[in-house]
Amino acid sequence: MDMEVPMTFPSQLRRLGTFSFLFLGAVAFTGCTTSGGGESSGILTQEAYLKASNTGAGDFFSTAIAFDGDTLVVGAPFEDSNATGVNGDQANNSASAAGAVYVFVRTNGVWAQQAYLKASNTGAGDNFGSSVALNGDTLVIGAPEEASNAVGVNNDQTNNSASGSGAVYVFTRSGTTWSQQAYLKASNTGAGDQFGHSVAIDGNTLVVGATEEASNAIGINGDETNNSASGSGAVYVFTRSGTTWSQEAYLKASNTEAGDNFGRSVALSSNTVIVGASLEDSNAIGVNGNQADNSASGSGAVYVFTRSGTTWTQQAYLKAS
């Protein structure tokens, strides 16, 4: 499936203490709140205008952004250098749409680029940086068009026999130094699945959406092996112990259907995962309604999952009112 090119600026709003920070594309704004932490004064001031250190036509810098504290990460999934790893050669354009991610940090109100990140197996068309998530000193980057047929954690990155299967890369920071900690693939890697289309992280838990995954499984840890529900989508939960990542769960919708794109969006807070399926088709309204019909094509749905210990269950099925 071709990579979708967003036609609007990505944005992220974060309130820290008495200040709010708003990122629109490559522009950072700050705004004051009242001293009591109440309503915003309504004043937004541009704090910075950020560009890549190797700006290139068509790179789509700011397709994805994430922000935590004084660190901002920006994805440019159509950046073209063939560099690998951290702070490599940015000067060439020999790997079209390989993608890159840029890390910026703020000190005393001044923003500066801290790192230029590339995949450990940079490949043309991989779209590294299509999705990003940041939590403290851990950064997660999706490359939904990456093409290796590896499965699981830190396995063979060298082949390109599963086009568009997708991958996720975990980077960590020590001081000001970034390094790659893990290379993640689905437990059922399949060509075209777009694993890494969406990512979210909180603490030592990471979730990854694969919007075009094709099994007809339902619920938690079902059968991953068939491909009879094209584009139904799946979400994968990974956890970290020390520096070691492993897959904890494989999540599917409670009403899996071909083309629903379950996993197009994901959000994570502690033991709760929210999953969007933007092309789900039921005509239900509200909470936990009838999932059985498909009379409202592309209406979309949201699924809420919760964890107790290491066990995940679906808590709710949400539709618009």
Query: Of residues 314 and 17, which shows the higher confidence score?
Result: 314
Q: Which of 2-16, 17-31, 82-96, 269-283 has the lowest mean pLDDT?
A: 2-16
Mind listing the pLDDT tens digit for each residue in 152-182? Answer: 999 999 999 999 999 999 999 999 999 999 9
Query: Across the chain, which distance is largest between two alpha carbons, in Å?
Result: 57
| Tokens 């919007």, residue located | 211
Nearest to 48 by CA among 132, 4, 106: 106
Confidence of residue 9 (pLDDT cuts 50, 70, 90): very low
Structure tokens at 287: 């909470």
Query: In this model, does residue 4 exceed pLDDT 60?
Result: no
CA dihedral angle for residue 123, residue 126, residue 127, residue 130, rounded to 10 degrees: -130
Alpha-carbon Rg for the chain in angstroms: 20
Residue 223's CB: how many other CB atoms inside 10 A? 12
Confidence of residue 26 (pLDDT cuts 50, 70, 90): low
Q: Which of 33-42, 104-113, 120-129 has the lowest mean pLDDT?
A: 33-42
Structure tokens at 144: 């939904």
Confidence of residue 246 (pLDDT cuts 50, 70, 90): very high
Residue 38 has a pLDDT of 43
Under DSSP, the state recorded for 147 is -
Confidence of residue 20 (pLDDT cuts 50, 70, 90): very low
Predicted TM-score of the model (pTM):
0.89
Write down the mean pLDDT value for the chain: 91
Query: In this model, does residue 282 exceed pLDDT 90?
Result: yes
| Tokens 């594309």, residue located | 25
Pairing, β 311-318 against β 301-308: antiparallel
Give percent of the chain above pLDDT 70: 87
Residue 16 has a pLDDT of 44
Q: How many CA atoms lie within 13 A of 173 on its CB side?
A: 18
Cα 197–198–201 angle (5° rounding)?
A: 145
Mind listing the pLDDT tens digit for each residue in 80-113? Answer: 999 999 999 999 999 999 999 999 999 999 999 9
Task: Give the separation between CA 217 and CA 5, rounded to whole angstroms.
Answer: 30
Confidence of residue 24 (pLDDT cuts 50, 70, 90): low
Mind listing the pLDDT tens digit for each residue in 259-268? Answer: 999 999 999 9
Residue 43 has a pLDDT of 78
Residue 45 burial (C-beta neighbours within 10 Å; 0-12, 13-18, 19+): exposed
For domain 130-318, give its CATH number from 3.40.50.1700, 2.130.10.130, 3.30.1340.30, 3.30.70.1880.
2.130.10.130
Helix-then-strand count for the chain, H and E: 0, 20
Task: Give the separation between CA 153 and CA 242, rounded to whole angstroms.
Answer: 14
Residue 7 has a pLDDT of 39
Confidence of residue 35 (pLDDT cuts 50, 70, 90): very low
Mind listing the pLDDT tens digit for each residue in 197-243? Answer: 999 999 999 999 999 999 999 999 999 999 999 999 999 999 999 99
Residue 232 has a pLDDT of 98
